[in-house]
Structure 1
């Protein structure tokens, strides 16, 4: 049985943050009905096109296991259809600009009147405050949430990360909120509003840097490289390059082939518990007990020297050879894996983290499968829907329209050009 089987989700989301959330719900078994503008659909369908005439990877990789219905919510008949959808569904998810639902005539109060058990889940850029009406995109959220100011090297500008912690990260947070609200409803029978701000989500994922901000009041952050280099700290948590955030010194180091391969690197941590093994591996056994090297505090002002020595060794090995040598010795290391390497990884394919999907317009493509595994509720990744592919199916099977009533909805123009047959 699917974990969320029987739950109906009204998906009013677009681009990335909302679709990330609703895709997870769909993977866990919820019936996710994606509402899209007739003839247009989610903007990402036609963004970053790589196969002419087909939905983009941007769209397909965020909208698996969903049904698509075209609906003009400004059309009077469209409003009636939307009202029936709210009556029928358990959860409504939206990431419109602030106030958009209200302008459509579907305030929280109105939604509660229609369905008191409805859970309304929303993603916004900011929570209540002076920025709440501002528009937010991925990189804006990373900057406003503290990630960019603490990412990069000390002598360089702030940097955003390639991980979509603003959009996808907030979608993950909202999904947790929805499932929690569903659990609450089983005990109270009442729906509630669930909100997740992108700034809040990024800050939550950057909490160790907020930790370090407070630690500055007690003195310099000794695990940061700049302490060992004698560089004074300022008033805010600084950028720390590739230093480890957990207190154990670590850096990204070159491996064999780095001259031509931009990803021939490894992350190497000189964990205190295995310092002796590190010394043996890199050919510096004398450092094990030498004054100035024997204990972690003594090594703080010598980290550049130590990692230079480690790198001289890693440069003689491939990143995978470093793994093979260090793991049996409990030395924490990790290869810098490219997207190409991840896409071809047999282990990730075996677990369903990397999946091949067939699509009627674009053929086979590779996507990320569900990152959360449930032992009794396996996930099958189903391709994303074509625009309006399930309009008639939802009208008839979910909302109960038939005969003249169905014809009237279709003729009203509220639901676009109805596809009478699902795509092969």
Structure 2
């Protein structure tokens, strides 16, 4: 069955996470994503946090599913020749090299337009190609710091905090997917490719716009508030039984949900009580309200609390740990937690495609071995078996 991006070829020159997450999403949507890697070494992510000496790391496997792998030496004349031939067949080139690297390889945007005017050239950079910070390098924590995310994360008496969801890396990758799809759509009208650029700092700033709104509303930098969500009460985490490190739920109540919450807690006696009836009143008595809620949640498991409160129409989420996420029945039912079989590693679990298209279903396949599709891809470009063997001996592939 064809998919949304069937017929689109993406040449993926990226490494680590921001770029590979973008390429993986395009592959999940049906694009033929050819991951071009350095011979013998490959993407450094193959070796990051390895748990087995004989297999690619789980980190690499998390961001390179559904791709094909081709090894090319882009410093070798024949390697560059092959890369140029590949680009002539491509719709998208995706890269996340440091500042100036792609240009030094001879494949800056002017050169790419000569090779293939219809090519969409997508770049992920720490700070972009222009602006005062353009020559600075970035990683996930740097992007979070410079995008303002760390300044609003943490507790009032503590320092700015790094958050583990990869808003700087994978968040930037998803922004780049949007740019690529828009450029491909515009190409239908113009017949021409264009350059797409996403900086990690820009992507993080886009994701903290609510905090920037509050700065303008209050006239000062937003303060860290821990788990307290604004002035909403209840609006924080509450301890549950049996009291483990992740035995918590998050409960958030707007005005119309206050009475349903009280009934679910068995506190009908407080319905209409003026001490708690308005959001302003609950804020003034927030310690009392939070103690009231936690007295009930602390005697029940987080899953029971969520079932009861969500069943009453009260927004509530159990704080799932990573093990619980990997075994969550709802996520499994939605193909968000997928069991795959790797040719070297064997069985492993990975995350599926969060975007569900009714006419473009995704079947997740394992990440490729280094150079796994070399003969296949080069044959598609017209190289014979003997030529491919010679290219390998010459060090071009």
Q: TM-score, normalised by structure 2?
A: 0.96
Q: Per-residue displacement from partner, 1:57-109 (whole Å, max 9, x unpaired)?
A: 00011100111111010101111111111111110000000111110111110
Unaligned runs of 5+ in 2: none
Provide the C-alpha distance between the structure 1 equivalents of 2:223 and 2:179, rounded to a whole number of angstroms. 32
* Residue equivalent to 2:303: 320
Contact 1:352 1:369 in 2 (8 A): yes
Provide the C-alpha distance between the structure 1 equivalents of 2:36 and 2:165, rounded to a whole number of angstroms. 27
Q: Per-residue displacement from partner, 1:142-165 (whole Å, max 9, x unpaired)?
A: 111111100011111111111011
Contact 2:9 2:33 in 1 (8 A): yes
Contact 2:375 2:385 in 1 (8 A): no
* Residue equivalent to 1:298: 281
**2:349 is equivalent to residue 348 of structure 1:** no
**2:391 is equivalent to residue 391 of structure 1:** no
Provide the C-alpha distance between the structure 2 equivalents of 1:301 and 1:374, rounded to a whole number of angstroms. 46
* Residue equivalent to 2:101: 100
SS of aligned partner of 1:40: coil
Higher mean C-alpha displacement, 11-20 vs 124-133: 124-133
* Residue equivalent to 1:253: 238
Contact 1:145 1:203 in 2 (8 A): yes
**2:28 is equivalent to residue 34 of structure 1:** no
Q: Per-residue displacement from partner, 1:362-405 (whole Å, max 9, x unpaired)?
A: 110000011111111110111111001111111111x1112664
* Residue equivalent to 1:412: 394
Q: Per-residue displacement from partner, 1:223-269 (whole Å, max 9, x unpaired)?
A: xxxxxxxxxxxx311111112259575101100111xx211100011
Contact 2:264 2:312 in 1 (8 A): no
* Residue equivalent to 2:124: 123
Contact 1:86 1:114 in 2 (8 A): yes
Provide the C-alpha distance between the structure 2 equivalents of 1:306 and 1:409, rounded to a whole number of angstroms. 72
Contact 2:13 2:96 in 1 (8 A): yes
Higher mean C-alpha displacement, 113-122 vs 273-282: 273-282
* Residue equivalent to 1:170: 172
Change (3 A) 1:181 1:16: same
Q: How does 1:77-226 map onto structure 2 within 5 Å?
A: 77-127=78-128, 128-217=130-219
Q: How does 1:225-374 map onto structure 2 within 5 Å?
A: 235-244=220-229, 249-258=234-243, 261-374=244-357
Provide the C-alpha distance between the structure 1 equivalents of 2:194 and 2:252, rounded to a whole number of angstroms. 45
Q: 1:350: Cα distance to partner?
A: 2.1
* Residue equivalent to 1:418: none
Change (3 A) 1:246 1:374: farther
1:400 counterpart (382, 385, 388): 382
* Residue equivalent to 1:49: 50
SS of aligned partner of 2:226: coil
Provide the C-alpha distance between the structure 2 equivalents of 1:280 and 1:345, rounded to a whole number of angstroms. 28
SS of aligned partner of 2:123: strand
Provide the C-alpha distance between the structure 1 equivalents of 2:54 and 2:369, rounded to a whole number of angstroms. 12
* Residue equivalent to 2:68: 67
Provide the C-alpha distance between the structure 1 equivalents of 2:160 and 2:30, rounded to a whole number of angstroms. 40
Q: CA RMSD in A?
A: 1.5
Provide the C-alpha distance between the structure 2 equivalents of 1:104 and 1:83, rounded to a whole number of angstroms. 12
Contact 1:271 1:332 in 2 (8 A): no
SS of aligned partner of 2:11: strand
Q: Per-residue displacement from partner, 1:175-212 (whole Å, max 9, x unpaired)?
A: 11101111111111110000111111111111111111
Q: 1:346: Cα distance to partner?
A: 2.1
Provide the C-alpha distance between the structure 1 equivalents of 2:191 and 2:386, rounded to a whole number of angstroms. 35
